[in-house]
Amino acid sequence: MISIDRDDPARGDVHKLLSEHLADMFATSPAVSVHALDHSALSAPSMTFWTAREDGDLLGCGALKLLDVSSGSATQGEIKSMRTTASARKRGVATLMLRHILDDARTRNLERVYLETGTEDYFAPARRLYARHGFTECPPFADYVLDPHSVFMELDL
């Protein structure tokens, strides 16, 4: 049975997965267009980080960043660092993680959730996943700027 729980991005197996994620992002997109976060950035107070595990084995991870925390009560969030291990791909782990993150966002009474992903073919499965769950393309949000290597998406909750 797959469980999703809060976790430490610096935990050994998670750190390795995040390092692989960053390496893939830099291998796929120009450096200026890579917005993936390392384990230390994912430990920030505005972040909630989860892992999916089965019998203790890491299957994937994802995070929710609160975007407007300076106002005292966040109404928007951003999905960050969605990643599935190679051995867990095609098992529905990304769908489970996305649903978990969206359920958490609804529990927090967020009004909207955003994400940024790439335009390259490498990112096509991610774009399809998000579209299947109701995300639509939108203009850049937060501190992002227009970038031919980025697709911005949003979901009203």
Write the pLDDT tens digit of every residue in 19-51.
998 888 888 888 888 888 888 899 999 999 999
Q: Using the predicted structure, report yes or no on whether residue 70 has a pLDDT greater than 80.
A: no
Q: Spell out the residues 6+ positions from residue 94 whose beta carbon is closer than 8 angstroms to its own.
A: 60, 82, 84, 126, 129
Coil, helix or strand at residue 23: helix
> What integer pLDDT is reported at residue 109 of this predicted model?
94
Q: Using the predicted structure, report yes or no on whether residue 69 has a pLDDT greater than 80.
A: no
Q: Where are the alpha helices (DSSP H) in 29-133?
A: 93-107, 124-132
Q: Spell out the residues 6+ positions from residue 117 whose beta carbon is closer than 8 angstroms to its own.
A: 123, 126, 127, 130, 150, 151, 153
Query: Is 63 exposed, middle or buried (CB count within 10 Å of its CB: 0-12, 13-18, 19+)?
Result: buried
pTM: 0.93
**Residue 61 — very low, low, confident or very high, per pLDDT cuts 50/70/90?**
very high
Report DSSP state, residue 102: H
What does the pLDDT look like over 80-109, one tens digit per residue?
Answer: 999 999 999 989 999 999 999 999 999 999
